[in-house]
Amino acid sequence: IAGITQAPTSQILAAGRRMTLRCTQDMRHNAMYWYRQDLGLGLRLIHYSNTAGTTGKGEVPDGYSVSRANTDDFPLTLASAVPSQTSVYFCASSDSTQGTDTQYFGPGTRLTVL
């Protein structure tokens, strides 16, 4: 089934630990995004990639890094997790060649940092 998968579904992490959230899409979309969603706030963009090999910073990039080695995968790494990074993380992708840039979302990863 075409779409976006994320792993893990949920994770409890000790502060200071390193963590990589995985995201894979099979729609051959050129653009991919990482958002965090916190109660009472809109989705906030962490990092994005317009095409394989390129990445950019979003609204809240501090404490996070990404890579885009190929079209399908877009992992998000927390180098040293802090409690303020407790959130639900959504990966999304879009085909910007289609003009509307509609973004399609993965199921999310619920991360708790203690």
Query: CA angle, corner 60, sides to 56 and 66, nearest 5?
Result: 45
Q: According to the binding rule CB under 8 A, does residue 2 interact with other proteins? A: no
| Binding residue for other proteins, selected from 7, 30, 44, 67, defined by CB under 8 A | 44
- Contact assessment for residue 63 and residue 83, using Cβ atoms and an 8 Å cutoff: no
Residue matched to tokens 């950019």: 56
Rounded alpha-carbon distances, angstroms, from residue 39 to 35, 42, 83: 13, 8, 15
Q: Which is nearer to other proteins, 10 or 80 (CB)?
A: 10
**Per-residue interface string for the shown chain with other proteins, residues 55-84, x marking contact by CB under 8 A:** ---x--------------------------
Shortest Cβ distance from residue 18 to other proteins (Å)?
A: 25
Q: According to the binding rule CB under 8 A, does residue 5 interact with other proteins? A: no
Tell me the torsion sign for CA atoms 75, 92, 34, 9: negative
Stretch that binds other proteins, among 12-20, 40-48, 63-71, 75-83 (CB under 8 A): 40-48
| Binding residue for other proteins, selected from 90, 93, 111, 113, defined by CB under 8 A | 90
Rounded alpha-carbon distances, angstroms, from residue 36 to 1, 69, 99: 25, 22, 25
Residues binding other proteins (CB under 8 A): 40-45, 48, 58, 90, 96, 100-108
